[in-house]
């Protein structure tokens, strides 16, 4: 199996109670690939500007199977600046400069796999639909979205949801999309007959996962060192998808989902402990295994 991920590559400036970092490498594709790389290296699709640094390219070469689907366009790379204060589950956006991402049209190289797992990160649902149709042969097609698309393009989002068999969203997005005020009600309302999995990320409250005929609820890994939560959701998705890929999963049983989600929870916990990609990238596979073993004992897996 193989993973193809389509989404944003960016530079982020982030301020939290722990400090401030300027123009760090970020974006959904970056965080997804960083987390996935312990078990699988995805094929990535995105766009960057002429300001994309060689050190950033080197990072992508280390974390991905191929970056041939990343186009370089005249202009600047997508830039986002935000700050966290009391609520570390949600950032306040200070600046958004789309740059070349404003005209993003995904390029899927002919050599990219047509079978495996497709992850459509948080981008315009019109683009997500085009990619989902183009890569209809993928066994797993998972989608992420955000409040902006839920409110501004509900029809287009509904159309692409018909083409995927998995949805990965956070709790706030799930309640907005469903119109429900309770997480479990939102989960039930959003789950569609053709879905095989629906993942509701709940930040420090863990994750709830709905399958065909089962439900999995797991706590977050208890870390007190929350430095920068940016990218934690994409890191969870990357680690979860990489587990399915590495273990050649064809059917999502409760046991498989529990293992994949527990692994993803642990990898995402490293993400929040430092700024940008450093929280995960600085750790070895041995570090991941050690924390995963601790977490499994904690939740009796």
Residue 102, domain CATH: 3.40.1190.20
Q: In this predicted model, what pLDDT tens digit does every residue of 54-100 receive, in sequence order? A: 999 999 999 999 999 999 999 999 999 999 987 777 788 999 999 99
Q: What is the pLDDT of residue 157?
A: 97
Confidence of residue 300 (pLDDT cuts 50, 70, 90): confident
- Provide the Cα torsion 99, 100, 104, 107; round to 10°: -150
Closest-CA residue to 44 (of 64, 71, 73): 64
The whole domain housing 188 covers 3-298
Integer CA distances (angstroms), 177 to 65, 165, 167, in order: 34, 17, 12
Contact 164, 132 (CB under 8 A): yes
Q: In this predicted model, what pLDDT tens digit does every residue of 177-227 receive, in sequence order? A: 999 999 999 999 999 999 999 999 998 899 999 999 999 999 999 998 899
The answer on pLDDT for 15 being more than 80 is: yes
Report the number of distinct structural domains present in the chain.
1
Closest-CA residue to 79 (of 124, 49, 44): 49
Q: In this predicted model, what pLDDT tens digit does every residue of 227-246 receive, in sequence order? A: 999 999 999 999 999 999 99
Provide DSSP, the chain.
Answer: --EEEE---EEEEEEETTEEEEEEEESHHHHHHHHHTTT---EEEEEEETT--HHHHHHHHHH-SEEEEEEEESS--EEEEEE--S-TTSPEEEEEE-GGGGG------TTS-SSSEEEE-SS-HHHHHHHHHHTTT-SEEEE---HHHHHH-HHHHHHHHTS-SEEEEEHHHHHHHHT-SSHHHHHHHH--TT-SEEEEE-GGG-EEEEESS-EEEEPPP--S--S--TTHHHHHHHHHHHHHHHTT--S--HHHHHHHHHHHHHHHHHHTTSSTTHHHHTS-HHHHHHHHHHHHHHTT-
Reported as half-sphere exposure (CB side, CA atoms, 13 A), residue 194 has a value of: 9
Q: Stretch 37-52: mean pLDDT, rounded?
A: 98
What's the CA gap between 138 and 141, in Å, rounded?
Answer: 6
pTM for the predicted model, two decimal places: 0.96
Closest-CA residue to 271 (of 260, 286, 259, 282): 282
């Amino acid at each position: 199996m193989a993973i193809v991920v389509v989404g944003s590559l960016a530079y982020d400036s982030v301020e939290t109670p722990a400090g401030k970092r300027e123009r760090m490498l970020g974006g959904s594709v970056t965080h997804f690939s960083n987390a996935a790389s312990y078990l699988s290296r995805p094929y990535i699709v995105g766009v960057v500007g002429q300001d994309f640094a060689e050190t950033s390219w080197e990072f992508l070469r280390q974390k991905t199977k191929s970056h041939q689907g990343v186009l370089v366009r005249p202009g600047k790379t997508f830039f986002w600046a935000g700050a966290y204060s009391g609520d570390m589950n949600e950032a306040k956006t200070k600046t958004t400069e789309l740059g070349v991402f404003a005209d993003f049209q995904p390029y899927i190289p002919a050599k990219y796999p047509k079978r495996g797992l497709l992850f459509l990160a948080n981008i315009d649902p019109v683009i997500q639909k085009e990619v989902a149709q183009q890569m209809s042969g993928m066994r797993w097609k998972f989608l992420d979205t955000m409040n902006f698309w839920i409110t501004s393009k509900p029809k287009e989002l509904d159309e692409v949801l018909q083409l995927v068999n998995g949805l990965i969203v956070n709790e706030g997005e799930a309640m907005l999309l469903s119109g429900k005020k309770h997480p479990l009600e939102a989960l039930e309302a959003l789950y569609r007959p053709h879905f095989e999995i629906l993942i509701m990320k709940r930040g420090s409250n863990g994750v709830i996962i709905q399958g065909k005929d089962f439900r999995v609820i797991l706590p977050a890994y208890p870390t007190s060192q929350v430095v920068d939560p940016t990218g934690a959701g994409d890191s969870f998705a990357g680690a979860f998808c990489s587990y399915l890929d590495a273990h050649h999963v064809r059917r999502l049983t409760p046991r498989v989902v529990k293992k994949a989600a527990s692994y993803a929870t642990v990898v995402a916990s490293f993400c929040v402990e430092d700024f940008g990609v450093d929280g995960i990238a600085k750790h070895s596979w041995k570090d991941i295994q050690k924390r995963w073993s601790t977490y499994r004992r904690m939740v009796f897996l």
